[in-house]
Chain A
């Protein structure tokens, strides 16, 4: 059982692509080997800035010889058919057997596919893999036509047998011949060396200043960084994304810690962190005593003779230039805010197009402000405050700082609102109205923030629905799914009771808010219904993670049964909808719930068949005086008891109580079906029983459309 080692050595691979590429190499190569008839014990892939490597342990030395029988035509088939069969199977007529089958005497060929040595298979599959590797972006170089992420320089491909002997796999791609050579660190160990096995490879690489495993590099960086910071009485601000990226930028990480000049320590922490991370790939280092970012950690790729003094001095100088820019932006922005206020800063939004059919950013802000004012009372915020917050919430998009660092939008808004002396609620809303940004982000709870956040997202959704720019498949350029999830989480997270369609409708109709008014035409109602259906779809996805089933939500959505889900009154109150779904979901998990569901379905089926057959609807009141059995009478009594309880509970939106009252029906319904034949010979009794079943159906449908529930 030999081991296979492959290394694809190239110019620098973008850090963000390395992990995925290593995984693609492992999965594709091992799949191809298995497909070709080989087996293996284990496989691990690695990536550094200059190489992708794969080790496959315990690979079979050759693929097995395969024998396969192929049935052919009948012996009396036309000559042409028989010849065709011979060609296809690659055998001659003497090799054919004749067998008696159901359809007569037929020819049978035995085809032998000889096994192939592993090296041959590896060579073939590796070439295919290199030529079709799924890089997110690839390129050509020189005069060649091969595509790789950056120029590919060499291929190492060896099979190591159990005795430790290594054999180079003979292969070539576009003039690059596979061998047993690789190289170490670009600057400190540039010469080629040969390897005989994976262990030999990693050990020699390490001596040549290359740590093959990205996790090992990340671990070493984090360990050294935290140690250094700790020794100086500081702590490193954790940043996993940055750690992974930096580990992909070096083969031999060397951690250095430097100081941020005193001039810059009064910049907001977010600005320091963002500037250092985005421009320089520095980690921020905090002084726990002051809570401020006072130092940085940078990771070099080389062990320099002066212990990194030159490198650190250079980095410090670059940082100072960067932070001078940031300080310049910060001070200019503060001056603007002091002189003209945040609304003054926002003036330029008039010249920024939001979307050519939806006007400028200023138009958008006006719409958000009008909507925030309307939402405010529903969420316990003062309308004037919410509208004021909305009017300034996008102002920081015009700041120099956000121009430089778009990811600081919102954060800078908060700082500038504070500097402008605005109410703390407004400053908070400037930052929080973007939230929640994804499934993992927190949901704001401050009323003004909630009002503006909802208004912002509803305006986006209503706007793009108005102009028919809905997400399709994987395309969602305006992040409308995220906006919809934002609305859902804001409503549910704060337990808000709002009828979203009312908000959509008035948003379309608000003429003084400008640019949606042209879309307030005959089609707008259909658009609103469609938008609500989109929200329902996102809601189902969201609730699935909470363990609430699709069909349970559908049951709660289509209470009306006949109308489309979007148009049913109350379906746009997501909080109510979810309470109902949760209560129903819980109920259906109980024994009573499960049985009641079966009882309902049985009643509904019998009724439907009878109604179809008789062409009438059995909705006329059943009368207990026609009841013949105790079970029938007991069901009447139970329904009489439960009906007002359920109606009352539903009116009070106490779904748990409604479900409890429904649970009480389970036993009488079960007993009824056990003892009573609905389709009695006596027509009067039959009609009365069908009408009784209708009472069950009506009661259940009041709570949810149980016909939608599976099982």
Chain B
């Protein structure tokens, strides 16, 4: 077993090492998607690219928002805004587990000293109509990643199957860096001229968004937005495939999917505001899933979705 490199010293160094590692494995280094999402999976580079037959390999950091997890910046582990590191490779390579373990070594986890385990955890996203089998990966009893072989996305069987890795960056970094409170974790190098901790960067925003999410977000406006996004998604997909301007066949799966992402995030906000009852909850999830399904149907009708293959 290779000896692990020196331990990283900051949150950003862990991200940089993951980037370097996965770039070396041949992944395209993508940037975060420019919309509010609940998890890295929502990035079209995962949701849409897991569909169709074309090979794919991408990695990226995705800021993720979970309004109900806001704790005003006080809880040592919980945040309403946090980062996920996401890797998606299609078809899943036979040595994906070994590749993944290599990434742990790259961020300073010595696999001869730690206890890394693959513990059954089947992933399902009811809003995306997606599911897969895999594990949560434990390091010394702590969940550090989700490891999933996608079986279905947007109601479509995945052929070939993508392997998806999701790292909860803050939690993983806290463990590697030995931080007890997320806000205390060094964000950049502690010896930098201006050393910044995670809290220096995010505490203010956490506090503000916690208040906003729980008590201020205008639920009537949000309910309207939800309806609008839903209608817009359907309208985009209802447009005829042939573009009158260029005369080309252009199915607009991506713009429609943006509306699906929007609806999903608005639903999360409404949930945090506590205005959705248990029974309504299922209905809303079903409505978002219907959008995701329509977008998936559309994507496989595009060139990138493998229509020509």
Contact = CB atoms under 8 A, between A and B. Distances in A.
A12 B118 contact: yes
Interface size class of B (residues with CB under 8 A): 35 or more
Interface in B153-197: 158-161, 163, 175
Given A187-B116, A302-B114, 16 more contacts: A12-B119, A16-B120, A138-B133, A149-B133, A150-B133, A187-B1, A249-B117, A281-B141, A304-B113, A305-B113, A311-B115, A313-B140, A314-B141, A321-B77, A353-B278, A356-B279
Given A249-B117, A314-B139, A321 B149 contact: no
Contact of B112 (A15, A151, A187): A187
A315 B141 contact: yes
Given A151-B149, A187-B1, A318 B140 contact: yes
B132 A15 contact: no
Nearest to B274: A351
Nearest to B122: A137
A545 interface: no
Interface in A137-160: 137-143, 149-151, 153
Interface in A532-563: none
B45 to A, nearest CB: 20
B82 interface: no
Contacts of B77: 321
Given A249-B119, A353-B279, A356-B279, A141 B113 contact: no
A306 B149 contact: no
A351 B278 contact: yes
10 contacts: A12-B119, A139-B132, A139-B133, A249-B117, A281-B141, A302-B114, A304-B113, A314-B114, A315-B140, A318-B142
A166 B139 CA distance: 40
Contact of A153 (B1, B94, B116): B94
Contacts of A318: 140-142
B113 A310 contact: yes
A187 B111 contact: yes
Contacts of A250: 117
B125 interface: no
Interface in B60-117: 76-77, 91-94, 97, 111-117
Contacts of A4: none
A311 B140 contact: yes
B278 A301 contact: no
Contacts of B246: none
A312 to B, nearest CB: 8
B102 to A, nearest CB: 13
B151 interface: yes
B151 A139 contact: yes
B76 A321 contact: yes
A383 to B, nearest CB: 33
A143 B115 CA distance: 31
B128 to A, nearest CB: 18
Interface in A281-327: 281-282, 298, 300-302, 304-306, 310-311, 313-315, 317-319, 321, 324
Nearest to A300: B115
A319 B141 CA distance: 8
Contacts of B76: 321, 324
B212 interface: no
A310 to B, nearest CB: 5
Interface in A178-217: 187-188, 190
A11 interface: yes
Given A137-B122, A142-B94, A301 B115 contact: yes
Nearest to B93: A142
Contact of B278 (A15, A16, A141, A352): A352
